[in-house]
Structure 1
Amino acid sequence: MSGQLLRGLTTAAADRLVTADEQQQEPHRLPLYLLGKDASQRWTFALDISGPLKDAFLDFLSTSCGLTGVQTADLRSLMACLSPEACAIAGQAAALSQWHL
């Protein structure tokens, strides 16, 4: 998963997460993993935006969702800052991502 994690993404928004391959210009979907509900009963998702899809996803957040200034970081470097629950969710997301390769 290269460590990129996005929580709380709705399935309606996920349906719009289609990018074009830079070489072939054919649309494809970003890998989205449903992780279940967190302790607050919020649905939690992980989205793999590694590689060339990162810029397309950040552009989607800016143009379609009005979210500017969003930054991503490698998950491993963030683990020390996360709560135990968030670390568990991150581990589950990474495991699902690797399993689907």
Structure 2
Amino acid sequence: MEQTELIAQIDAFTDAIEHAAAMADWIEAVRLVDARGSLVALLSTDQPPVGIAAIRRMQASNDRIFADAQRAQQELTDEYQAAMSRVQAVGQYQSIANR
């Protein structure tokens, strides 16, 4: 595969990963990152400016998405803990109500 075609495919994967992350579809984002990784491994070390730009764009995108993923994980953790507290409260109510 030619480097220009490879770079175009990597760019397309980066766009798709950004979309999946924006939709909070983390399973799809992981699948796409894995697929893109196979292509990144095929890049030659001597890249033209367009290749360097694509790599930098991918790195910046990775940084943004990683920060978004950390926030999403914390939000989900907070929601889970709040739900577990409500479950515990319902259990306490049922224990008292059945006396």
TM-score normalised per structure 1:
0.30
Return the structure number with greater strand share. Answer: 1
Instruction: Give the structure, 1 or 2, with the largest relative contact order (CA under 8 Å, sep 6 or more).
Output: 1
TM-score normalised to the size of structure 2?
A: 0.31
Question: Which structure: greater helix fraction?
Answer: 2
